[in-house]
Amino acid sequence: MPTTRKTAAAGVVAAAVLAACLIVPALSRLATTDGTTTAAVILGVPIGTVLAVTGMRHYGPVRAVAVALVVTAATLAAAGGSSLVVAVSALNGSSTTLAAGVLLLGVPVTLELALGFLALQLVPGPARLTPAATGNRIA
């Protein structure tokens, strides 16, 4: 595995760790509409930044930002959806169980890892020019 690919893979793992650490502070802001935006910023900005910066050399700048945006958006949607499920079940009178905690913490982390590593497999890096491709017969 080339060094740039290892860096991108380390970024995926770091983003998943960030998701696990930031999910509770982000979800604590979901009581209001303004809080929803704040929660998205608390969770999304660090994750997206880590993914974009660590994937820059492997994917190239445009693809790194695109991959970071897609993976981060999916993680935010999953975090919001799982928090909604837990909140609705709590409002219905069922007690919050260990399963709800695992759902809240596990879904964003698992999705971050799965989509990040899937992107490493599917999204090609920038085309590298070799001396043969450039037409330089001397090199």
Residue 54 lies inside a defined structural domain of this protein: yes
Residue 131 lies inside a defined structural domain of this protein: no
Residues 46, 52, 54, 57, Cα dihedral to 10°:
-170
The model's pLDDT over 69-97, given as tens digits with 9 standing for 90+, comes to 999 999 999 888 888 887 777 777 776 67
- Whole domain around residue 58: which residue ranges? 3-123
Residue 66 lies inside a defined structural domain of this protein: yes
The model's pLDDT over 42-59, given as tens digits with 9 standing for 90+, comes to 999 999 999 999 999 999
Residue 133 lies inside a defined structural domain of this protein: no
Residue 128 lies inside a defined structural domain of this protein: no
Residue 20 lies inside a defined structural domain of this protein: yes
The model's pLDDT over 4-26, given as tens digits with 9 standing for 90+, comes to 889 999 999 999 999 999 988 88
Question: Closest by alpha carbon to 18, among 77, 62, 72, 65?
Answer: 72
| Count of domains observed in the chain | 1
